[in-house]
């Protein structure tokens, strides 16, 4: 049995045939070749596969493709402007080197994007609570926390 699911991905409306048991990560990676969505633990724990679904961060490895019907999906490939200008969160991660191997970085940047959309000036406790949604085996998280605070500042500077 297959079903057709329609949604937007990085702004583009798409329709695709999926099996009920297909997970969103497989569609994103295999159908749309958006391989910035990494599958790590495959159990909704590590956060490497995080994408934004209607601006909510979700583990694409553990979300069925049919759940995407009518929704707006953003992957890491969709964050920069078409002219290549990086988002504030992407710039902040680059500026403070909030990554090492990079496997978790796409998911983390989307997660932090969602955090700052909800809370433009999060305190440390809020930041660490949110970073509990992602596992980074390289940095020890301090550089990531700095990246979040830097992104919040960049956003404020743009707004000012």
Partner 1 sequence: MTSSEPPPLVALRGRQRIAPFALVRVGDTAAAAEAALAGAVPMGGGVDLVDRMKFGERIERLMPLSGLALGGVEATEGGLRIGATTTYAALAESAEAARLAPAFARLVGGVANPRIRMKGTVGGSVMSQKPNFDVWPALMALGADLVFADGDGEARLPAAALAPDERRLLLAVEVPAGADARFAFDRSLRPIVSVFAGREAATGALRLAVGCAHQRPLLLRLAAGETDVAAAAAAALPPPKSDGLASSTYRRRMVGVLAARLARILPGPDAAS
Ligand X SMILES: Cc1cc2nc3c(=O)[nH]c(=O)nc-3n(C[C@H](O)[C@H](O)[C@H](O)COP(=O)(O)OP(=O)(O)OC[C@H]3O[C@@H](n4cnc5c(N)ncnc54)[C@H](O)[C@@H]3O)c2cc1C
Binding footprint of partner 1 on the chain (CB under 8 A): 1, 3, 19-21, 23, 39-44, 47, 50, 56-59, 62-64, 66-67, 111, 115, 129-130, 132-133
With respect to ligand X, which residue has the nearer C-beta, 16 or 62?
A: 62
The answer to whether 39 contacts ligand X (rule: CB under 6 A) is no
Q: Which does 31 bind (CB under 5 to 8 A by kind): partner 1, ligand X, none?
A: none
Element (H, E) at 13: strand 12-18
- For residue 84, the minimal CB distance to partner 1 (Å) is 28
The two structure tokens encoding residue 2 = 């297959």
- Residue 64 near residue 24 (C-beta atoms within 8 A): yes
Task: Give the residue with the Cβ less far from ligand X, 44 or 154.
Answer: 44
- 45 touches ligand X by CB under 6 A: yes
In the complex, minimum distance from the CB of residue 113 to partner 1, in angstroms, rounded to a whole number: 13
For residues 39 and 44, which CB has a smaller minimum distance to ligand X in the complex? 44
Cβ contact 76:37 at 8 Å: yes
Q: Quote the CA–CA distance of 122 and 102 in Å, as a whole number.
A: 24
**CB 132 to ligand X: min, Å:** 9
Q: Which does 92 bind (CB under 5 to 8 A by kind): partner 1, ligand X, none?
A: none
Structure tokens that stand for 136 in this block: 């980074």
* Paired sense of beta strands 12-18 and 3-9, if any: antiparallel
**Shortest Å, Cβ 57 to partner 1:** 5
Nearer to partner 1 by Cβ, of 57 and 78: the residue is 57
CA distances for 31 relative to 3, 20, 90, 95, 102, angstroms = 15, 15, 25, 32, 23
Say if residues 116 and 122 touch (Cβ distance below 8 Å).
yes
- Positions touching ligand X (CB under 6 A) are 44-45
């Amino acid at each position: 049995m297959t079903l057709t699911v329609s949604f937007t991905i990085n702004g583009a409306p798409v329709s695709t045939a999926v099996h009920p048991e297909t997970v969103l990560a497989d569609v994103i990676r295999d159908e749309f070749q958006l391989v910035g969505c990494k599958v790590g633990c495959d159990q909704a724990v590590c956060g490497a596969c995080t994408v934004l679904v209607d601006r909510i961060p979700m583990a694409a490895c553990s979300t069925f493709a049919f759940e995407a019907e009518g929704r707006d999906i953003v992957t890491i490939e969709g964050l920069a402007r078409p002219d290549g200008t990086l988002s504030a969160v992407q710039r902040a991660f680059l500026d403070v080197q909030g990554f090492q191997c990079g496997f978790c970085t796409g998911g983390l940047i989307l997660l932090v994007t969602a955090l700052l959309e909800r809370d433009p000036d999060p305190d440390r406790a809020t930041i660490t609570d949110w970073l509990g949604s992602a596992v980074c085996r390289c940095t020890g998280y301090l550089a990531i926390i700095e990246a979040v605070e830097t992104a919040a500042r960049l956003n404020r500077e743009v707004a000012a």
